[in-house]
Amino acid sequence: MMKRDITEAARRAAELRAEIERHNRLYYAEARPEISDYDFDMLLKELEALEKDFPALMAPDSPTQRVGGAPLSGFESITYSKPMMSLSNVYSKDELRAFDERVRKILGKTAFTYVLEPKIDGVAVSLRYEKGIFTVGGTRGDGRTGDNITANLKTIRSIPLKLHHAGNMPELLEVRGEVYMDRKGFQELNREREEAGLEPFANPRNAAAGSLKQLDSRVAARRPLNAVLYAAGEVRGLVTRSQAELLAQLREFGFPTAPRTWNCSDIEAVLAGLDELEGMRHDFPFEMDGGVIKINEFGLYEELGATAKSPRWAIAYKYEPEQAETVLLGITVQVGRTGVLTPVAELEPVLVAGSTVSRATLHNEEEIARKDIRIGDRVLIEKAGEVIPAVVKVNLDARTGREKKFSMPAQCPVCGEPTVKREAEVARRCINMQCPAQLKNWIRHFGSRDAMDIEGLGVTLTEQLVDRGMVKTPADLYRLKQEDIAELERMGPRSAASLVRAIQESRGQNLWRLIHALGIPHVGAGSARTLAGELHTLDRLMSATANELEAVRDVGAVVAQSITSFFSRRDTRELIARLKDAGVNMESGEDAQAAGTALAGKTFVLTGTLKNQTRNQAVERIRRAGGAVSGSVSKNTDYVVAGESPGSKYEAALKHKVKILDEEAFTVLMEAAEGVQKEPDL
């Protein structure tokens, strides 16, 4: 577009942002989507293209900012003027009646009602909106001080970046609620972790917490996170008189709220609602382990007061976890993408938490030994986090002496090759890269969206390619011919041509995608980006020693050893040689150009809130200009960038006599560096 078209581009960008946020609200907050996922993605891609052509159109509340940015060096603290308190728990109806009696004793003859909400087993968060724009978000922490995880929260599509409201926006609105991970996404994430030799998350709550504490928000963006909001913290310019009124107002603003709540006239109505809620516990997308009971009328909260940790106007009622006993008939072993062997319990079918369970993961041999699980045992089954069936314990009293101990196989159950258990890993692996089970998963991973992004390389096609011997390593993909693919089941000339084109186009993918696609144990997409950005070429990565790799940000001893072991194998080096011959890109195209620019060798520390850009955007600009970002101030720091409400790093900068830049001075510095000018004298 020519320069005079920026007005039209700005108009269209505003339309797209409004339309995208409307569809986000319809999908997440109102559960009534109007368009397909494909049509939604097309709207987002059009906006991304506009913002790329006209960088001045980029805004902090743009939906395109949900993809995440460059890794942070650490989390800053965030302080709450109104504490985020936790709730006391009760486990019986008698305890709940006792709570009601305590409330009535304090309030005397004052009339009040209750609101009952599902108790979401998620991670408590706070979101701050200033004049309708999401500015900062944090974890609960100790109630007074939490971690600033704004970048990660912005990646969650159900959280509005701008409030939907026809009238005047409140000057300040702090909203509180829970972030959770849905069941399907949790299962897929754990499968990927087990294949990488990592410990699986115990439940969806742990998975959500781990996702929100990622320093690389791009990792959080790939996690299936969602949110439910139900409370307010600090508020200016908005008046609500009850919990029921607040929930209605939150829905009007576009926040996702609980799909069902109960307005109850007394404690007996609450108890009836809890019975109804328990029958719905498997219908919600989030894990629900009980109910939260709140006094509805806000005007009574001050009189009821609070203890040191929890309010006296609310309480949580927790259900007993659902368990069932059954017989462990046998143990089978699955082989994953990276060769990890996972033992699976084959069970006599039993009903647990609303569904029939016939299999349960046993994770690894250490777990089996710790619980002394034997074939033929009567075992107690519970859905971990109400999702994945797990063997909780063995009924030792039911043992007859005929039960059999289990040992992980010394040979792969699929290919028969020897298995190994590496030091510092809990997993046993098949290291034969030609193992059919491993190869099929590897090829699918190689072509996945977060790796080489080869559209059309799905499960059925991969099965056929491997079973027919057409693909024995990822390098064989680049030798496939259209006529050979067209003969496969569910394929034809047009589909075959599209696949061949997608494979050939993948040769130009960035280096980090190739590193991730190789399937190096413990190296995910985030680590692959870091390695590509630091080392720039695959040859440099292959030749790096473990000590050199440990010097790379976020790479520890286990990951470093895994990388050196992977590249020391002859079959790996043969694969890399074949990929080179196929013309696959082996260099990073987006980081190498930063070296030698005006800011090369300069170290920055950021503190406080920036008005005109997100912290991740500022970090990305620094790194692209050759600078480095640190999480702490020292005598080696060149600049401290201070936004609004700077923290202790500002004082440290004064102590060490480090040059301090406000946002305007920082912008001048970055524009000069981006224009390939010398570093300005600020």
* Structure token digits, residue 366: 């250490």
Interatomic CA distance for residues 391 and 329, integer angstroms: 13
CA–CA dist 306, 296 (Å, integer): 16
Question: Distance (Å, rounded) from C-alpha 571 to C-alpha 490?
Answer: 32
Quick one: pLDDT at residue 43?
80
pLDDT of residue 6: 79
Give the angle 631-207-407 at the CA atoms, nearest 5°: 115
**Nearest Cα to Cα of residue 446 among 499, 496, 514, 511:** 514
How far, in Å, CA of 267 to CA of 101, rounded? Answer: 10
How many H-runs (helices) and E-runs (strands) does the chain carry? 24, 22
Q: Which of 99, 171, 100, 168 is nearest to 135 (CA)?
A: 171
Q: What is the pLDDT of residue 165?
A: 74
Going along the chain from its start, the domains and CATH numbers come out as 3-58 (1.10.287.610), 79-318 (3.30.470.30), 323-398 (2.40.50.140), 436-508 (1.10.150.20), 511-590 (1.10.150.20), 593-674 (3.40.50.10190)
Catalytic positions, written as ranges: 119
pLDDT of residue 143: 86
Residue-wise pLDDT for 381-413, tens only, equals 887 554 568 888 999 999 999 999 999 999 999
CA distance 372 to 634: 52
Query: What is d(CA 88, CA 588) in angstroms, rounded to the nearest whole number?
Result: 52
DSSP 375: B
Helix (H) or strand (E) holding 392: strand 388-394
The Cα–Cα gap between 507 and 452 comes to: 8
What is the rounded distance in angstroms from the CA atom of residue 189 to the CA atom of residue 205? 13
Q: Which residues contact 639 (CB under 8 A, 6 or more apart)?
A: 602, 603, 604, 605, 658, 659, 660, 661, 666, 669
CA-only gyration radius of the chain, Å: 28
Ranges in the chain, pLDDT < 70 = 1-4, 25, 27-33, 35-39, 41, 60-61, 65-74, 166-167, 194-199, 353-354, 384-388, 424, 554, 589-598, 600-601, 616, 620, 623-624, 631, 674-682
189-210 burial: b if 16+ Cβ within 10 Å, else e: bbbbbbbbbbebbebbbbbbbb
Neighbours of 286 (CB within 10 A): 24
User: What is the secondary structure of 399-452 as a DSSP string?
Assistant: --S--B-----SB-TTT--BEE--TT-S-EEE--TT-HHHHHHHHHHHTSTTTT
Give the pair of three-digit tokens for residue 560: 């470093």
pLDDT of residue 80: 93
Closest CA to 429 of 621, 265, 195: 195
* Rounded Cα–Cα distance for residues 494 and 398 (Å): 61
Output the DSSP codes for 592-636. GGGTTSTTTT-EEEEESB-SSS-HHHHHHHHHHTT-EEESS--TT
Which residue type sits at 536?
Answer: H
Q: How far apart are CA 110 and CA 115, in angstroms?
A: 17
